[in-house]
Every structure is written in structure tokens, then in C-alpha cells.
A = this chain, B = another copy of it.
Amino acid sequence: MNKSTIYDVALRAKVSNATVSRALNTPEKVKPETRNKILAIAKELGYKPNAMARGLASSKSTQVAIIVSDLARASVAEMVKGISEVAESYGYNIVLLNVKGDEQIDELLMDIVSLHVDGILYLNDELTEKQSHLVKELKDNYLIPIVLVNTESIGDDDLLSVTIDYEKAGYEACKTLIQEGRKHIVLFTTQKRYPVSILKEKGYLRAIKEYGLEELMCFTSGNLDINKSDIEKYLNEHQDIDGVIGVRDSISIAALNILVYKGKKIPEDVSVFGFQNTRYTLLCRPQLSTINVPIHEIGARAMKILTTEMSGEVQDAKGKVILEHSIIKRGTTK
């Protein structure tokens, strides 16, 4: 059993607990001699500051909440991994919170208030209007720094966000297929109206209109199993499709597989394009062409903004940071 407190260290070092605290947190304020002695004793005693006590006294928890919708999705998991690595390097611990739709969002936010986290990374691309408003309220009422990650706020909720230009990405995805000579390009998107999906659609539509092609959008459930039948039905009714874009890699791959089963050659007969560059893209056959999202940069930037806000230096409570994405061509495009 090993639970020494700051007093145990102070006692052994023959100093006050205040000095021990300083030796640990602001070493420059302590005479080197004293400091070294304290540090040695702390180590010897296996002293580990109690984060709760420290948090209570300093009103800083050194915890950041990460809010996700569905961690089982590769894009989400990969992003959380990237962000948590950055957060750890900043000395923050991650509290992982799951939003399941709009029902329990109130509880969730209450929970966060209780936790007194130093900041919130909201990386739920399935952000709804209700959530957007509540998050804004939370920020305003409790002055807690919040950054939306890989998504952006809805309407006039001017929340900070770090993301890529999904409209442009959608445009480029579509244009890539157009330039391959595709004439009948379908966009498989989500039934639910999420900000990011909508942006991708806009970009797709812009390219379609620019080149005078036909708009072809199919709204799938987003659920892996159900998607399949939605997509299958659509492709059966539209035999002339020669280009497919999915708003998620998983959707694109579902379509890819169906196309192959229908006897299409990829990419000879049909080009397929995804979004996010998840691991899925490497496990399908052929490997999926997609939009690459700079996960680590996004995570790093979001944490940077959060720390700046947390330090209370600059409070530019609005603004959107757009990072560069790139197009990755693999086997599903020519």
C-alpha cells in the first residue's frame, strides 16, 4: 500500500507542503537545493499528486472531454486515436463520452459540467441542430472551451471548428470522376441531414452542374447492413451508373462490392470514390480511391486552439479552421 500525500513528502523534507507543491509545479520558485531534496524524497516515497485534489484547488482538471457518436466507425476511431495522442502530449487526459442521438444529450452535457473538464472536443460528425444549440449554450453558460472537430456548427451557432473543406472535397471527388469520362455519377449519402454530408452533397452538385450532368443522389441509412439493400436497389434501378461516390468509405465499399457482384469491372466500367481514407480503403478489392483527411493535423490544431482558449489568452470564440485535404487515387479509379 503506497499512498503518500504531499504532507508526507513535506514532513520528510522538513519543509512546508506549500514548498513541496511549488517544487513540483513551479520549480523555478524553489531554491535548487531544496527542490532537489524534495524531488528525491517524492520519488523515494512514490508520491503521486492526487489529481482530484489538485483539480479542486486549482480549478483545472487537466482533462479534456472527447464526444463521439459511434466509436465503432473507423473514421471516428482513427480520429480519436490521433486526437488523444495529441492531447496526451499536452498533458491532458481524455474522458470519452458517447452521444447516442439527441435523447440523452442533455444528461451528457450535465455530466460534462460536473466533470469540470478544461475543454471539449466535439468530434461527432453526426451533429444535429439540437446538439449544436445545446453545445453553444454550454459554452456560453459555463464558459468552457469547445472545439468542433471534423464537423462544423449549424446555422448561426458560431462555434469554433477544425475541419477540411468538405464542399470542395465533394466537388473534387466528383470532378475526378468526370475527368475520367464518367457521365452518370451517383452520390450515396446519408438519410440524416448532417452538416458534413450536406457539404459533400453541395460540392458534388456544383461539379455536376458545372459539367451539365444529371444529379443522382441516393440517401442511405448509414447503417452497414441496411445500406447494402438501399444501394443494391438503387443500382438495380440505375443500370447506367458509371461513377459512384459515397460520403463514407464504408458506403463506397458496400457499393463497390455490389457492383462487382453485378458483373461490373472496377475501374473499367465504374469508378468508385470514398471519403476519409480509413483503413477500410486498404482492405477492399481493389483498394479505394478517396479523400484523405489529415487526422493528426486536425487533432493537433484542435488541441492547440483548446489550450489557447483554456489559458484564457485569446477568446476569439468564433472561427473556422480549414485544413488541406488531398485526393488519393487507388484502384477504384482510372
Q: A residues bordering B, Cβ < 8 Å?
A: 1-3, 46, 48-53, 55-56, 61, 63, 66, 70-72, 74, 76-78, 80-81, 84-85, 88, 93-98, 110-111, 113-116, 141-143, 224-225, 250, 253-254, 257, 260-261, 279-280, 282-285
Contact = CB atoms under 8 A, between A and B. Distances in A.
Most buried by B among A63, A95, A283: A283
22 contacts: A1-B142, A1-B143, A2-B141, A2-B142, A46-B141, A48-B113, A52-B56, A63-B95, A71-B80, A72-B78, A76-B77, A84-B98, A93-B95, A93-B115, A96-B96, A250-B283, A257-B283, A261-B285, A279-B280, A283-B283, A283-B284, A285-B285
Contact of A77 (B51, B72, B85, B115): B72
- Secondary structure at chain A's binding surface: helix, strand, loop or mixed? helix
A66 B71 CA distance: 14
Contacts of A260: 285
Nearest to A287: B257
Contact of A95 (B50, B96, B142, B283): B96
Contacts of A115: 51, 93
A61 B71 contact: no
Contact of A81 (B72, B88, B93, B141): B72
